[in-house]
Structure 1
């Protein structure tokens, strides 16, 4: 009989149905790295959203046959070791194709139209003191007619592009950084940096993509450009971002992710109190409908594995 252990069930707010086969089910709201081995000691299937499963822990779990990741990102699991051991790893796909793009455009609209700055002005009594009916204390820019650079053309990036087109934006999909050739339908990475009024990131965190955007990339971007990141914090050099915002090198940024989550007190981006920087706590993916889709697909993946035909495999 399979034993399934969910290591961090509090990260998914949904009705998680039980698999339709004989099994034992154990759930933990949260699990520290030090608790992983003990909690998975007799498990055959582990469910994790963000709890790390590294080689050192996996080596101590000879009975483990499957890791079901309750997310799309797989950087918290040692995929290479799982392949060596024959441990099947499946992830969740295409569940957030509406909720993440909506968050992207929430950030874009708030930044392009200076929402936070105007809100602060109203709170501070500036409108009440105005000599006319409106305030011109901050510039307002439309999305229509501007250029959006999208880095990552999976399901979410494609959905973002469709919404951008509906707003009347020019959409550029970035070719891989440093690519020798540019594929049809894509634009060279550096050209996207130079021409975009806003850039949004939608790609996984790998060694090849870590610090994809740093000081050199900010130097190429337009001074009026925005950077949106709802993917992974490690895609952007956070020190370089801090410096670019403080110096006015770019016009603003909207982030839903940081390199370390939850962040430690004193993180420089937590203390960056600027009206042109919006930081949300990794919730772009968490629309209730999206989380239910995730939960349903999670159990689908486990049932498919037990039936001998695993899907959404990454290992």
Structure 2
């Protein structure tokens, strides 16, 4: 059984507006009170979780200072409704014996499909053309040349593309089969800087040079920060398109914008940013001076789909029930 003397649990959901909390099926003799907040600002976290036995979180930060025993004396479990757990100080949880569970593979299909959506939007300059049409530019003449890449050629079709997948987890595998169904050639990247490459993989540097589309589907770790920066952008084909559905910070955003302005690559589609929520005050990718660049920006919604929410709800319930019956979430992180 979970190391918890309380059978009536206080469950605090800090971001219920992202994924609503389903009714929890707790094993006997446990009951619970749900304190549900639509969104939580950083300065509100400590007050809202001070009595919690279980905290449900998606992206709001749970840092070491709010996880100290004197601030959260009852806390025994953190349930992350997401695959990534970089919002939680895992070392602080490990030191206190706080269980942490996540919800892996729940959004796999949705995220893979979002990569394809961003690819088409960037390859065919959809956002840029939309802005130009709304601004009345079409009356001045045909706009088809806007679709041309820096190499001066019209956009390629899928059968002419080579997709390089960086990050071959669940999303990468679904993306691979989807891309092959569209007629793309697919390369799977080895680790950057690795001296050897597993069979079936392509060396990172070679993939960067050979791919016309590069999809980033990997976690943000110390060795993946600025994975794509000046050297990689300089090595890409002039008609390359990058799609990022991983995490902000994996692409050097300043280098990326400079490459687009210099016409070194053709476009960038992203769902993630170094700082979120992205706005003109904190992100170079959405400032007015990049309006003429082929950037397609979505607000960290690649996960959003009806089956994703159903999967999140199932995994959340399984994690909490598993922790109460065995002392460990079904999908343990700590």
User: TM-score range, shorter-chain basis?
Assistant: over 0.9
Cα-to-partner distance string for 1:247-306 (whole Å, 9 max, x where unaligned):
111111001111111124333211221352100111111112212221221121111111
SS at match of 1:296: helix
In structure 1, the residue matched to 2:25 is 19
| 1:52 corresponds to which of 27, 47, 61 | 61
Quote the residue 2:3 is aligned against.
Answer: none
1:167 CA displacement: 0.9
Q: Which runs of 4+ in 1 moved over 6 A?
A: none
Distance change (3 Å), C-alpha of 1:265 and 1:183: same
Cα distance, 1:184 vs structure 2:
1.3
SS at match of 1:68: strand
Q: Pick closer, same or farther for the CA change 1:31–1:180 going to 2, 3 Å.
A: same
Gaps of 5+ in 1: none
Q: Distance in 2 between matches of 1:167 and 1:160?
A: 11
**Shift of the alpha carbon at 1:118?**
4.6
The structure-2 alpha-carbon separation of the partners of 1:129 and 1:189, relative to structure 1 and needing over 3 Å to count, comes to closer
Corresponding residue of 1:232: 247
Q: Do residues 89 (structure 1) and 100 (structure 2) align?
A: yes
Distance 1:306 1:7 in 2: 21
Please give the alpha-carbon distance, in whole angstroms, between the structure 1 residues aligned to 2:311 and 2:115. 20
Once the 2 structures are TM-superposed, how far is the Cα of residue 115 of structure 1 from its aligned partner? 3.0
Q: How far apart in 2 are the matches of 1:79 and 1:128?
A: 57
- Listed one character per residue, the Cα deviations across residues 10-52 of structure 1 (whole Å, up to 9, x for unaligned) are 111x562223341222111122222222222221111111111
List aligned pairs for 1:69-218, cutoff 5 A: 69-119=80-130, 123=134, 124=136, 126=138, 135=144, 138=147, 139-218=154-233
Give the corresponding residue for 2:17.
10
Query: What is the correspondence of 1:252-267 to structure 2 with a 5 Å cutoff?
Result: 252-266=267-281, 267=283
SS at match of 2:285: coil
Is the aligned partner of 1:268 residue 2:279?
Answer: no
Distance apart, 1:310 and its partner CA: 2.1
Unaligned runs of 5+ in 2: 1-6, 148-153
How many angstroms apart in 1 are the aligned matches of 2:78 and 2:129? 47
Task: Tell me, in whole angstroms, the C-alpha distance in 2 between the residues paired with 1:78 and 1:116.
Answer: 37
State the distance in 2 between where 1:172 and 1:244 align.
Answer: 23
Q: Is 1:33 the equivalent of 2:49?
A: no
Matched, 1:284 2:302: yes
- Contact 1:114–1:140 under 8 Å retained in 2: no
Write the distance in 2 (CA, Å) between the matches of 1:35 and 1:127.
Answer: 51
TM-score using structure 1 length? 0.92
SS in 2 for 1:109: helix
